[in-house]
Structure 1
Amino acid sequence: MAKTYLLKGGLVATFDDKDNQARTLRADVLVKDGVIADVAADIPVSAGVEVVDCTDKWIAPGMVDTHRHTWMAILRGSQCDWLLTEYLVKNSWNMQGDLTPSEVRIGQLAGCIDALQCGVTTILDHFHIANSPEHSEQALQATIESGARVIFAPARQSPPTKILPTFEFGNEAEAHKWQLDQLQEWGKKDGGKLSPDGRVTLGFAYDLVIYGFDIPHKEIVSLARSSNASIITAHVVQAWRDKELLGPDVVFSHCNSLAYRTAPDDEAWAAMKEHQCAIASTPEDELGMAHGNPVAFDGVDRGVKCGLGCDAVSINSGDMFTQMRFALQWHRGRWNEQILQSKSTSPKHVKHTSADAFRLATLGGAEALNMSHLIGTIQVGKRADIVIYDATSLNLAGIQDPIQGIVFNASNADVETVFVDGEIVVDKRVPGKVGLKGGIEWKNVAKELRARGEDLRKRWPLDKLEELWDEYYTKNGAPAI
């Protein structure tokens, strides 16, 4: 039976999805049976309730990552200086097809733990390394073990077996069969629930629409929907629109090609809104890898559901603090530039505020995943996905407004306690223990992560990857993106 917790005396920072307003209030939060049972001043302490002293603490919703390749934690720090074109050749079309199931498993576990200790409680995991049934099964089990709330979205794809002089996909027929069989098998288990507690649910990643293969796309997308995949994630909205595949369960990552489209009736934007699709904006890597310019607030301004994501954690930070800052400051910078160029009188206030960025990382992400009735705010009746921040830390002491503090000053170092579904999965007051009931020793995860990562880097040293990239680039130029 789940414990009952009373978070006592904290400063609650949240959005209210009833009036779409930011709220900051001094209140207690009662967590019972995995649900937020009450939010009020001076809730009395009852027998059997574990009190969590939140004096000098901030209480906020868990953050929602709408696009993450979680397993890539095993490659962290090795791809930070790559353009997207390099990443495709070096990683996606070469090294990625060589990873073992055990390497993917430890990367997945470490990636989930990394997200949790940063206050990210929900992930749409675009699992694009379903190289074999064992890869997928081991990654799923690691996900469940972590205690995170995850939409686990295995990709329907196979790695190329040859890229020069032309692409070959020697395992495509076999992969097509087992991946769709596995999708249906998982979908039948419990209405798409992949873990006993329902935290891990089934999704589907499908990017083959943008390629010229002779594939029955409508049948495959329909199969995913009938198999209880709650979210389907992809990359190119125009291709999906042209093939009439759009729907409210589709989350499009990046959407950078929609930047600067100012016509109010632009067809792509109009299709997104009409079909209630969502955007997962990942501004840190979009700007650094030449994806294009971020469109998070373009989507918000047009009434399109939008959340944030970290994307490939081999390249970027795994926290949403960075994504909030990149998204907000990029859009502010672009707006400010337009003001300076127009030589008109400066406006009285900024167009987008800290609260807007905070919303993207919490309620906005929940809306993008069609989960705002369950998560994204601190409100009675929602699942208790909660982050407690130490407001006396070096980063946060002296800050009055917790929303501004979380957006502009906080880091994972300030995250003290994390609840998912009313259970503590990170408690930094007890160092080294993470996951359900503190059952994972991080030092053991770290040891295996480093060992497996070293094995992988020995097989794929940077000079070998650079040779492959140089050969491809010399013969073909950069691949189209």
Structure 2
Amino acid sequence: MTVLLKGGIVATFTKGSNEPSVYPADILVQDSVITQIGINIDAGSDVEVIDCEGKWVTPGMIDTHRFLQSRLTAAEVRIGQLAGCLDALHSGVTTLLDHFHAATTPEHAHASLEATIQSGARVIWCPARQSGPTQLFPSVEYGNEEDTCKWQMESLAEWGSKNGGKLTPDGRVTLGLAYDIIETGPISAHQAALQHARENNVSIITAHVVKGPRITTWRDAGLLGPDVVFSHCNCLYDRTDPDDEMWEAMKDNECAIASTPIDELGMAHGNPVAIEAVQRGVKCGLGVDCLSVNGGRSHEQIERDGHAGPKCNRHLCADAFRLATLGGAEALNLHDKIGTIEVGKKADIVVFDTDSANLAGIDDPISGITFHATNADVELVMVNGEILKRDGRLTKVPWGPVAQELKQKAREVRERFPREELEKLWHQWYEAFGAPKL
């Protein structure tokens, strides 16, 4: 398939540049790759021409930490996973690092992977190496851990050995691993598990770090590397020592951070570290984590100390735009394939409707996308050269049937877990264990 995006305004970072490039250009896409960028590219008779006159054309956004699912039945996981991927695509997010923590049975894992592939999104699918609790009170027990670990490790080898970790023929979905159990059991077991993962073509290993010294635990066990992405890392905020051991461990081992500022502030994790990571030379991308969590306050230190507000922000909208595109690609070690609009890159492209109510008065695509655009302004989404959203509507997987099934499954979940029962369980959990610490 050959497509010419005609007359758009390209907004992109490129490798080695600290400033975004904004310029008018046509973009020719052949199969899955950008093959030409220029003015007045001549389209042949077999080329589909899409009019992008005056519209903004950007790289697809990259989400380096998102939960698409929770612990539900396999059927509920399937529709939730599909809906989550489609929601991301609808918003112009073309690449996802999915921390899939519901891979507690083969059926759940299969349902999630099937839905992920069906969506058409580019996904590093990271099933979590953990089992579901078989008892919460009076203490948490994991009665199925031995059997769960066995099939998960066997499945990891099966998934990773078929095609070098590619879970789709075109490489759009690849294998990763989520690993949050580093503090449990002997460290030798974790060393063996992660060695097994790396030997079986796992491209990314991701884990949560919020508070505490988990980074040094990984470092001391010899587990860090350029394939490790730690989510959040709020414990690194405002560590003024230039030789801080945790920052040094991240940089020396070429690890990456998935920063999720909105939910980190909303969940009182602490201040986000995305900009500081970039300043310290540590790879960093952005993520949303859980879409149900809203944001918190900014400049809280200034307000608390009673000073006047700042004259301007220290960081620019371009910094956020880079984190969401090229920065995310660097964090996932995919910067040679995605994250920019350049010849030879995969055609993961988003087109914004600049005639919308949100964007019609904005002349700068970088600030417009960062501050004003919503998913309603995303007119076209292309992943790997395939158009998944056109004229503001999802095309590969129509949303209507997905919405109906999602509503039905949601009703079943609410009937199975009434609000009052969930509130009771939460209060019991909190009283017994306090706030969860990651």
TM-score between the two structures when normalised by the length of structure 2: 0.94
SS at match of 1:51: strand
Matches within 5 A, 1:289-328: 289-313=267-291, 315-316=292-293
SS at match of 1:235: strand
Letter in 1 for 2:83: A
Quote the residue 1:271 is aligned against: 249
Q: Structure 1 residues 469, 121: CA separation in 2 closer, same or farther (over 3 Å shift)?
A: same
Matches within 5 A, 1:33-44: 33-44=31-42
Letter in 2 for 1:353: L
**Which deviations, in whole Å up to 9, do the C-alpha atoms of 1:34-87 show, x marking residues without a partner?**
111111111112221100000121100000000011125xxxxxxxxxxxxxxx
Quote the residue 2:315 is aligned against: 352
Percent of pairs with identical residues = 56
1:477 is displaced (CA, Å) by: 3.5
CA contact (8 A) 2:230 2:257 kept: yes
Quote the residue 2:48 is aligned against: 50
Structure 2 runs not aligned, ≥5 long: 210-214
Quote the residue 2:240 is aligned against: 262
1:463 to 407, 413, 420: 420
Which stretch of the first structure deviates more once superposed, 213-222 or 137-146? 213-222
Query: Are 2:17 and 1:28 aligned?
Result: no
1:259 is displaced (CA, Å) by: 1.2
Q: Give the Cα–Cα distance (whole angstroms) in 1 for the partners of residues 140 and 180 of structure 2.
A: 17
Query: Are 2:252 and 1:247 aligned?
Result: no
Quote the residue 1:69 is aligned against: 67
Query: Are 2:149 and 1:176 aligned?
Result: yes
Quote the residue 2:339 is aligned against: 376
Q: Give the Cα–Cα distance (whole angstroms) in 2 for the partners of residues 15 and 25 of structure 1.
A: 12
Q: Give the Cα–Cα distance (whole angstroms) in 1 for the partners of residues 112 and 430 of structure 2.
A: 33
Q: Give the Cα–Cα distance (whole angstroms) in 2 for the partners of residues 257 and 50 of structure 1.
A: 50
Structure 1 runs not aligned, ≥5 long: 73-95
Quote the residue 1:434 is aligned against: 395
**Which deviations, in whole Å up to 9, do the C-alpha atoms of 1:105-159 show, x marking residues without a partner?**
0000000000001000000001100021111011101100100000001010001
Q: Give the Cα–Cα distance (whole angstroms) in 2 for the partners of residues 407 and 179 of structure 1.
A: 39
Quote the residue 2:129 is aligned against: 156
Q: Structure 1 residues 251, 479: CA separation in 2 closer, same or farther (over 3 Å shift)?
A: closer
CA contact (8 A) 2:34 2:345 kept: yes
Query: Are 2:200 and 1:227 aligned?
Result: yes
CA contact (8 A) 2:69 2:101 kept: no
Matches within 5 A, 1:84-163: 96=71, 99-163=72-136
SS at match of 2:57: strand
1:417 is displaced (CA, Å) by: 0.4
Quote the residue 1:395 is aligned against: 358
SS at match of 1:245: coil
**Which deviations, in whole Å up to 9, do the C-alpha atoms of 1:303-338 show, x marking residues without a partner?**
10000111123x247xxxx9xxx8xx94xx369779
Q: Structure 1 residues 475, 220: CA separation in 2 closer, same or farther (over 3 Å shift)?
A: closer
CA contact (8 A) 1:113 1:434 kept: no
Q: Structure 1 residues 4, 268: CA separation in 2 closer, same or farther (over 3 Å shift)?
A: same
Letter in 1 for 2:42: P
**Which deviations, in whole Å up to 9, do the C-alpha atoms of 1:171-194 show, x marking residues without a partner?**
100100000100000001100000
CA contact (8 A) 1:119 1:418 kept: yes
Letter in 2 for 1:297: I
Q: Give the Cα–Cα distance (whole angstroms) in 1 for the partners of residues 372 and 27 of structure 2.
A: 24
Letter in 2 for 1:176: C
Letter in 1 for 2:402: V
Q: Structure 1 residues 392, 455: CA separation in 2 closer, same or farther (over 3 Å shift)?
A: same
**Which deviations, in whole Å up to 9, do the C-alpha atoms of 1:257-302 show, x marking residues without a partner?**
1112111111000100000000001111111112222111111111
Q: Give the Cα–Cα distance (whole angstroms) in 2 for the partners of residues 61 and 119 of structure 1.
A: 9
Query: Are 2:45 and 1:8 aligned?
Result: no
Q: Give the Cα–Cα distance (whole angstroms) in 2 for the partners of residues 252 and 301 of structure 1.
A: 17
Which stretch of the first structure deviates more once superposed, 156-165 or 106-115? 156-165
Q: Give the Cα–Cα distance (whole angstroms) in 1 for the partners of residues 42 and 306 of structure 2.
A: 55
CA contact (8 A) 2:284 2:330 kept: yes
Q: Structure 1 residues 476, 222: CA separation in 2 closer, same or farther (over 3 Å shift)?
A: closer
1:340 is displaced (CA, Å) by: 8.0
Q: Give the Cα–Cα distance (whole angstroms) in 1 for the partners of residues 260 and 282 of structure 2.
A: 16
Q: Give the Cα–Cα distance (whole angstroms) in 1 for the partners of residues 12 and 199 of structure 2.
A: 35
Letter in 2 for 1:196: P
**Which deviations, in whole Å up to 9, do the C-alpha atoms of 1:232-261 show, x marking residues without a partner?**
001232321222210000000000111121
1:211 is displaced (CA, Å) by: 2.9
Q: Give the Cα–Cα distance (whole angstroms) in 2 for the partners of residues 335 and 466 of structure 1.
A: 33
Letter in 2 for 1:49: V
Quote the residue 2:212 is aligned against: none
